[in-house]
Amino acid sequence: MKPLFFALIFFKLAPAHAAGLSAPPWVKFDRVPYLSLEEWDKRTGFRAYPDLKNGRVLLEQKGQPPLILLVGAPYALAGERFLSLPDAPRAEKNKIYLSAPSGERLFLSFLEAKPREALAAAIRLASPPPPPPARPAPALAEKPKKAEVEPTAPELSAASSGKNGCGRSVKRVFIDPGHGGDDHGTEQGHVREKDVVLKFAGLVGKELKSLGFEVAFSRSRDVFLPLDIRTKLAAEWKADLFVSLHVNSSPAKGVHGTETYILSPDATDAEARKLALLENSAAEGAKASSSAVQDILWDMEQTSYLQESAYLASSLQGAIVGHAHDLLLSQKAGDWNDRGVRQAPFYVLSRAPMPAVLVELGYLSNARDRKLLGEKNFQESLAKALGEGVKKYKEACRNP
């Protein structure tokens, strides 16, 4: 690392009296201090080129690989590697903000060990001071004073940040039964994934319609559709939600249960990464390589909906596991395994311009899962659960 480059960053991130800059105008979101990209630009030597419309930011510094940030995504794309960030960049009032911890992580990643320590100290010096000690409790006769708000670091409410709701109506649900045609998906004996999920899709659609939702399908018969066509159909239909249905398989026959995925370049684990590679192989003309995933992320529509997708996934996962548990308990047939909400770089999710999830209903490789997934009462219970999960998500959204 060139000393001149480090000196420039250190000078710009040093306290205001040394750099000739005013004190950083920190803004707090969920009690975490953030700076606008304009301010980071002044203090780091990286030039920021924000694209507010698409929620993307390009950061450039001479002699360094460009950095790509995605609003709502807790990672950055740096050359050929992904860099996890403590907090996702945020867009508020026509500005994009990056937190102090994420800024430190992002810019320190380009420095060698020795200058990194000095720069970290500079960032800490420029960070907001800790709050003053709490005042002694007032006497009983006194009326407690209203807490004062620091003018340079206002905290935004959950409502203004959109964290507790999607901010629009949810009426149209697009159901995508995975695979189809010559693409059978996973197979166990005569049981094929493409057939199982097509059956489930019909039941889920019927349940959603009974709850007042409009429903459309990527396929209603045994045909293959390229992955990008599935999300194009959803976009043309102006869907509010995209739900892709699949069933899974594992070499370990004991693995069983339901898991729900949202998009991320960093897979939850090796198993999730392998699953994404298998599913992405159906993308026409796309290779499931790291460079292909980078291209997907830079061009992806899903960036703006990551938080909403995470909540939708949690709502569906909880409903499915709850219904399966209750049904099996009533039959004294054990329990259903909750494999949780997971993350992986699924091509089909990256192209969805709306909240999108991929549900792995169960494991065909597990004899018990395979048997239950073929039983009518279990199918109807899971379909009812998916309808309930969508309804719960809708109720959490604020209509415009």
Contact 351, 302 (CB under 8 A): yes
Domain check: are 177 and 88 in the same one?
A: no
Q: Mean pLDDT over residues 313-321, rounded?
A: 93
Q: Looking at the domain assignment, is residue 141 inside a domain?
A: no
Q: Do the Cβ atoms of 38 and 50 come closer than 8 Å?
A: no
Domain membership of residue 87 (yes or no) is yes
Residue recorded with tokens 């860099």: 83
Same domain, 208 and 317: yes
Q: What is the largest CA-CA distance in the chain?
A: 79
Residue 287: the pLDDT is 42
d(CA 49, CA 56): 9
Instruction: Give residue 215's identity as a one-letter amino acid code.
Output: V
Residue 170's nearest CA partner among 202, 213, 215, 211 is 213
Residue at 163 is within a domain: no
pTM score of the predicted model: 0.58
Condensed to tens digits (0 to 9), the pLDDT of residues 89-137 reads 888 888 889 888 888 777 766 544 344 444 444 444 444 444 444 444 4
- Does residue 149 lie within any of the structural domains? no
- The answer to whether residue 144 is domain-embedded is no
State the residue for tokens 């002699």. Answer: 63
Task: Identify which of 44, 37, 40 has the alpha carbon closest to the alpha carbon of residue 8.
Answer: 44
How many separate domains does the chain show? 2
Highest mean pLDDT among 90-104, 146-160, 223-237, 240-254: 240-254
Q: 158-184: per-residue pLDDT in tens? A: 322 333 346 668 999 999 999 999 889
How far is CA 85 from each of CA 88, 104, 114, 266, 346, rounded to the nearest angstrom? 7, 9, 22, 12, 20
227-245 mean pLDDT = 90
Q: Are 182 and 116 in a shared domain? A: no
CA 53 to CA 96: how far, in whole Å?
A: 11
In a domain, 106, yes or no: yes
Contacts of 162 (CB under 8 A, 6+ apart): 307
One domain, residues 322 and 386: yes
Same domain, 117 and 224: no
Q: Which of 126, 153, 188 is the last residue of a domain?
A: 126
181 and 243 part of one domain: yes
Residues 202, 96 share a domain = no
Q: Are residues 201 and 110 in the same domain?
A: no
Give the best-scoring range by mean pLDDT among 5-9, 147-151, 357-361: 357-361
| Alpha helices (runs of H) in the chain, residue ranges in sequence order | 3-13, 16-19, 37-44, 100-108, 113-126, 158-161, 193-210, 227-236, 270-280, 290-299, 306-330, 347-350, 367-373, 376-396
* Domain match, 82 and 183 both: no
Helix (H, G, I), strand (E, B) or coil at 271: helix
- Establish if 177 belongs to a structural domain: yes
CATH code at position 50 = 3.30.457.10
Identify the CATH number of the domain in which residue 250 sits. 3.40.630.40
Range of the domain at 273: 172-396
Q: Supply the pLDDT for residue 163.
A: 38
d(CA 365, CA 370): 7
Average pLDDT, stretch 334-356? 86
Residue 119 sits in the same domain as residue 190: no
Looking at 94, 110, 126, the residue that finishes a domain is 126
Give yes or no: residues 178 and 291 share one domain: yes
Which of 91, 126, 161 marks a domain boundary?
126
pLDDT in tens, 47-83: 888 777 666 787 777 766 677 777 777 667 665 566 6
Same domain, 258 and 120: no
Residue 143 lies in a domain: no
